[in-house]
A and B are shown apart, each in its own frame.
Chain A
Amino acid sequence: MKKESGDKSIQSTARRKILKGALWGSFAIASGVSLWQLSLTESVEVVEADQYPYRFLTLDERLLLWAIIPAYLYPALDKDDEASRFLVLRNIDGAISGLPQSTQDELRQLFSLLSFQLSKALVAGIWTRWNQADIDSLQSFLSSWRESYVALLRVGYLGLHQIIVGSFYGEPISWQNIGYPGPPQMNLPESFYEDL
């Protein structure tokens, strides 16, 4: 299981700063940093500062999901609701941790593909700057995956859909808007279970 150390986060921040000043292109790809990450602005720090012990998601993958979560969930999830977005992120990490190794490997590849495709879109000028206001652009991007003739991109769309949307609607914070009262409260005495 990959662990994020404090050192690595610092390196990552530094790396992004260096790259922001560099001519971004082949250099960024060769260094393994996604182009789209370079355009991230204010939201980066909050994700990097998060101390939660993620089991699966790397910092790069968390940044990627941080950006794509609102594209799937807005307006059910408010753009500025960072607490809920973290909840979704942690649920995704928990769900993936229970998947078999080969599926985890595939998800790593999916995140990498997503990162690459977003970079391409950025280079193509589909959008010029990535921040939280760019939900429309991101949603067009999701539509392109959803409607793609390439089965792999539809797999990606559906796979991300399942883990992101499911991680939100499993939480009570989502239930009031959809008229779901939550499971019944049982409040059974301990003796009930002992008698079983």
Chain B
Amino acid sequence: MKTSNTYDAATLQKKTLTADVVIVGTGAGGGVSAEIFAEAGYKVLLIEEGPLKTARDFNMREKEAYPQLYQESAGRKTLDKAINILQGRAVGGSTTVNWTTSFRTPEQTLKHWRTHFEIAAHSKESLAPWFAKMEQRLNIEPWQIPANPNNRTIANGAEKLGWSHATIARNVKGCANLGYCGLGCPINAKQSMLVTTIPTALKAGARLIYKARVERITYSNEAVTGCELIAMDEFGQPLAKTTISVQAPLIILSAGAIGSPAVLLRSKVPDPNNLIGKRTFLHPTVISAAVMPEAINGYAGAPQSIYSDHFLWPDNDEIGFKIEAAPLHPLLTSTVLTSFGQEHFALMKQFPNIQGSIALLRDGFSKQSVGGEVVLDDYGYPKVKYELNDYFWKSAQKALLAMAEMQFAAGAKQVLPIHLYAQPYRSWKKAKTAIEQLSMKPLEALVFSAHVMGGCAMGGDEKRSVVDESGRYRHLEGLYIFDGSIFPTSIGANPQLSIYGLVAKLASQLAAGSRI
């Protein structure tokens, strides 16, 4: 990526800037918005909290990638530490480090939004052309190369048990099947925002300031006037003395489901119904590791290429879950295996034979699943409160059972549910008995998240929504939110394409001046 028009906030000489539109964040929402607005002739200023790193920097070393490219060194956690959140923090946002898995928003999700949140504008049909546009833009298509053994295990197990499963679509072009998507693509094959929309926007005249955090949006007379930035150092810590102010009549907030509510809360924008930061969804995820008789080498090959939605939409009111594979690199794998000493080493020595399955729980679709809340700590930094209740644990336990059954069906020698007190079990029968008896509690069963959604819910009812169906913030002129934070529930699938498609639609309509 050419780096003209890009500036490290710490070295920026000018301390006052102007723009037609400021876009806060450069992930899926910000990247798509930037391209649309820059090409429409707007003077665009992009702000990114993380650093600008490119293929040249991506050396596939976990030790370097996590601190450089992830929020909180890939160790971001909920307030009670019970959920570990993997989220990107670099130019391109999470799209720079995600596993390229692409699904259109499930029709069931959009129908739920229509029924429960009065969202009529975004149906399967009305979004279809926008998904098609972004699929073409980012080269999203079903993975053609045979699945790696890590993913094939899921296909094999599902096949044996008669469960539905299918091939995942990925946003890649010229992919060498290396398997290191999560550490930044070293050959620019992944069609992330870093190599697609952002370079196009910069070429069209957009400017990008990186290592800068938006401290607050400024406004007067119920209209935005700009924002104030603070520069960040190489460790992601604010440089208190380096502030920059920006004047702009239009602000697009695309800082993600944790960052966007944080900016709004710091800005003390009007929020008469006290909704900002509420209903934060994470697709809380549980993990099952299997020891297979053959080498899996879960670090090699496309990280996710097979999924099973067999349990995603149950007939009852329980939380459904989606089963996928998790790529296995040594650092992250070692931290997920929660034992220590000899027991831990014995598992790590089987590293090449370990298969990793994950189940993502579809939160937010029931009265019993209200999600979490983004709050600010004493330093003005966002923290997520998220209560894992019995309603969640019931499905989490079912998910651990389903994955163990699937792994044994695929030939696993041992299965280890990721839980503080679980052991590797040698048969499905033993695993079933043990998992049924495991206590399902926070900080006993380990829970992860790689998808942050909600917190600035969209909706038709002014009293229950932060933005309307066009993404317009309800209580200030000139403020729009275009990212995953406007989803009123979780998506029920990896969310990147949901963000691309919806934001392409909303940003195009706003840029053309024709609001919904």
Contacts and interface: CB of A to CB of B under 8 A. Distances in A.
Interface of A: 55, 71-76, 91, 94-95, 97-103, 135, 139, 142, 146-147, 151, 154-155, 158-159, 161-163, 165-166, 168-171, 174-175, 177-180, 183-184, 186, 188, 192-193, 196
- Report which residue of B54, B195, B420 has the largest number of chain A beta carbons within 10 angstroms of its beta carbon: B420
Given A75-B345, A100-B72, A159-B81, A180 B299 contact: yes
Given A75-B345, A154-B420, A186 B333 contact: no
A147 B421 contact: yes
Contact of A95 (B61, B75, B77, B81): B75
A98 B73 CA distance: 6
B381 A151 contact: no
B444 A161 contact: no
B453 to A, nearest CB: 21
Contact of A71 (B178, B340, B351, B442): B340
B334 interface: yes
B186 to A, nearest CB: 6
Nearest to B68: A98
Top 6 closest A-B pairs, CB basis? A183-B60, A170-B63, A169-B334, A178-B351, A170-B331, A76-B345
A50 to B, nearest CB: 20
Nearest to A183: B60
Contacts of B180: 183
Given A158-B81, A196-B188, A101 B348 contact: no
B377 interface: yes
Interface string B55-75: 110011111001100001101
A55 to B, nearest CB: 8
B379 A100 contact: yes
A151 B420 CA distance: 12
B430 to A, nearest CB: 21
Interface residues of B, number: 56
Given A98-B235, A101-B237, 16 more contacts: A72-B344, A91-B63, A97-B237, A102-B377, A155-B443, A158-B81, A165-B335, A166-B334, A169-B333, A169-B334, A169-B348, A180-B299, A183-B59, A184-B60, A184-B178, A186-B187
B352 interface: yes
B345 A179 contact: no
A75 B344 CA distance: 9
A71 B341 contact: yes
A83 B145 CA distance: 43
A177 B348 contact: yes
A179 B187 CA distance: 25
Interface string B303-342: 0000000000000000000000000001111110010111
A170 B178 CA distance: 18
A103 B72 contact: yes
Contact of B348 (A161, A178, A184): A178
Contact of B235 (A97, A139, A161, A177): A97
B331 A179 contact: no
Contacts of B352: 178-180
B378 interface: yes
A18 to B, nearest CB: 35
A99 B349 contact: no
A142 B56 CA distance: 41
B466 to A, nearest CB: 24
A125 B333 CA distance: 36
B377 A162 contact: no
Interface in B425-471: 442-444, 446
A196 B349 contact: no
A23 B167 CA distance: 69
B236 interface: yes
Contact of B1 (A158, A169, A171, A196): A196
A16 B343 CA distance: 35
Contact of A75 (B84, B178, B330, B342): B342
B351 A179 contact: yes
A33 B180 CA distance: 45
Interface in B369-420: 377-379, 381, 383, 420
